[in-house]
Amino acid sequence: MNILIVDDQAFIREYIKNELLSLNYDHNFKIFEATSGNAAIEVLEESSIDGGNCIDLVIADLKMDNGDGLSIINHLATSRDKSISLAIISSSDIRTLELISNIVNGFNLNFVGVYQKPIDVNALLDNILKNQNDKELAPEPDVPVLCNEYNITELLNEDNLFLCYQPKIEIASGDIIGFEVLARLCLKGDGFIYPDKFIPLAERAGLNCQLTKLVLNQAISQWLLFPALKSYSLSVNISAGELMSVEFINYIIGKHNSNTDIKLMLELTESQDMINQEQTLQALAKLIINGIPISLDDFGKSYSTFDRLDNIPFEEIKIDKDFVCDLDSNSQHLAIVEATIALAQKLKVNVVAEGVETIGVLEKLKTLGCDRVQGYYFSPPIEGRHLLNWIDEYNKQKEAIYAKTNYKPKINRVL
Ligand code: C2E
Ligand code: CA
Ligand code: CA
């Protein structure tokens, strides 16, 4: 078991480490240490790429400089892999610890518990073993093959790139307004690699602009091949780092100018440090001036996104799926979504809720005044070759969906 201990006080890390090692009868514990939340996130990111050293358990202090325990909770809540166990340690009072428990439970994390300092490592280990037994008894989910070790430079080419498209629906009319392109890499005979694995690798290898160019070209070819698609917008994901390349910005503008009948939109995943930089702001301004609207993706994930909205004329903001998918049962998430929609309305920015999985959530979003929705309730990402069929089917069933009759979303497989 790989265990990451996060505390800014060396003697506490040392104490937990010694206790763990003294209880480690099978000698299979590997201990990692970090002195802050930010340093822990780096270790977690590195370990998720390095398959052999995946962290199984994080034991984290709540109050630290440079990224507190909450930033680790936030990080785990927004990563696809929710299997990492988390134990929080703190000298805060019991009410604060209860609040933390509620927050963590709301995020559906693999939560071991909150422990007051000085912690009882024995009790903590007991809880982890109990969690593990429960997990072993649960049936294995049917997950496509994922591969941890591969060479991104070799894999990232036109032949291995496989695009899926997920519809964006206007809530008021039920009309399809566009599609978001979601990339997968195809390992021949060995399933798909999903973006949460290959995007960090591409970024690290400096290949993220190349990835976007490949995605943009393949998606535009799809739109040109089936001209009926031109009535729908085409949203391509980019990360803020890509805005630093002038050559890349000019490439996108060139593609847009030679395909003016395609309604291209860019979904920007922001990185807090990047987006305020002068060069990034200038790149965004250049894209917007050239008629390419920008959608601010994953809104709500980062704490300080609100002040961005009045600086940059975004076309839309997308509320992150982690807040949306359970808003009918999670009052904290509901409050975040409600506040975001109210803010967007005030600033006259369209708001898209992603991760709509049930009619209950859809109905709630309607009452909150959300403009657009996206999610498994309507469709998982669709293979390009099935897109026109899906549109036909959807349009036929639209009346039924909006009349709230017996619409059963058809989810054959999640791509
Ligand atoms: P995103 O832009 O927030 O995309 C939405 C993700 O949520 C997609 O995962 C999609 O399959 C999934 N999803 C859609 N509806 C639902 C739902 O109802 N419930 C749940 N639980 N999930 C839903 P995917 O395709 O694995 O993409 C993950 C992230 O990878 C994307 O998040 C996006 O940020 C990034 N990404 C995907 N394709 C590209 C790309 O071509 N370029 C770049 N730079 N990033 C990409
Ligand atoms: Ca997106
Ligand atoms: Ca998102």
Q: What does DSSP say about strands 316-319 and 30-34: parallel, antiparallel, or unpaired?
A: unpaired
In 3D, which of 80, 74, 84, 63 has the Cα closest to residue 104? Answer: 74
Give the span between the Cα atoms of 211 and 183, in whole angstroms: 9
SS3 319: strand
Q: Tell which one of 166, 168, 182 to mutate to probe ligand 1, the residue whose CB is within 8 A of the most ligand atoms.
A: 182
CA-based max dimension of the chain? 67
Give the span between the Cα atoms of 270 and 238, in whole angstroms: 9
Ligand 1 near 215 CB (within 6 A) = yes
Query: What residue type is assigned to position 229 of the chain?
Result: L
Ligand 1 near 20 CB (within 6 A) = no
The rounded Å distance from CA 238 to ligand 3 centre is 12
R_g over Cα of the chain: 23
For the chain, residues classed under CATH 3.20.20.450 are 152-403
Domain 2-137 has what CATH class? alpha beta
Atom of ligand 1 nearest to the CA of 269: 34
* Poorest-pLDDT segment among 105-114, 132-141, 211-220, 308-317: 132-141
Give the span between the Cα atoms of 369 and 38, in whole angstroms: 36
The rounded Å distance from CA 325 to ligand 1 centre is 14
How confident is the model over 129-154, as a mean pLDDT? 56
- Residue 73's region, left for phi above 0, alpha for psi from -120 to 50, else beta, is alpha
Nearest ligand for residue 219 CA: 1
Query: What residue type is assigned to position 20 of the chain?
Result: L
Q: Does domain 152-403 have CATH number 1.10.10.10?
A: no
Could you read off the pLDDT of 189-211 as tens digits, one per residue? 667 888 988 998 898 889 999 99
By CB atoms closer than 10 A (0-12, 13-18, 19+), residue 154 is exposed
For the chain, residues classed under CATH 3.40.50.2300 are 2-137
SS3 7: coil
Q: Tell which one of 298, 354, 376, 383 to mutate to probe ligand 1, the residue whose CB is within 8 A of the most ligand atoms.
A: 354
Could you read off the pLDDT of 103-124 as tens digits, one per residue? 777 677 888 888 887 788 888 8
Could you read off the pLDDT of 370-397 as tens digits, one per residue? 999 999 999 999 999 999 999 999 998 8
Binned at pLDDT 50, 70 and 90, residue 148 comes out as: very low
Give the span between the Cα atoms of 333 and 342, in whole angstroms: 14
CA-proximal residue: ligand 1, atom 43 (nearest): 237
Residue 90, H or E segment: strand 85-90
- Residue 142's region, left for phi above 0, alpha for psi from -120 to 50, else beta, is beta
In 3D, which of 48, 303, 322 has the Cα closest to residue 200? Answer: 48
CA-proximal residue: ligand 1, atom 41 (nearest): 183
Asked whether the beta carbons of 52 and 75 are under 8 A apart, the reply is: no
The rounded Å distance from CA 17 to ligand 2 centre is 40
Predicted confidence (pLDDT) at residue 353 exceeds the cutoff of 90: yes
Predicted confidence (pLDDT) at residue 188 exceeds the cutoff of 80: no
SS3 322: helix
Half-sphere exposure of 303 (CA within 13 A, CB side): 7
Ligand 1 near 269 CB (within 6 A) = yes
Ligand 1 near 355 CB (within 6 A) = yes
Indicate the length of the chain as a whole number.
415
Ligand 1 near 195 CB (within 6 A) = yes
Q: Is the preceding omega at residue 118 within 30 degrees of 0, hence cis?
A: yes
In 3D, which of 93, 94, 89 has the Cα closest to residue 64? Answer: 89
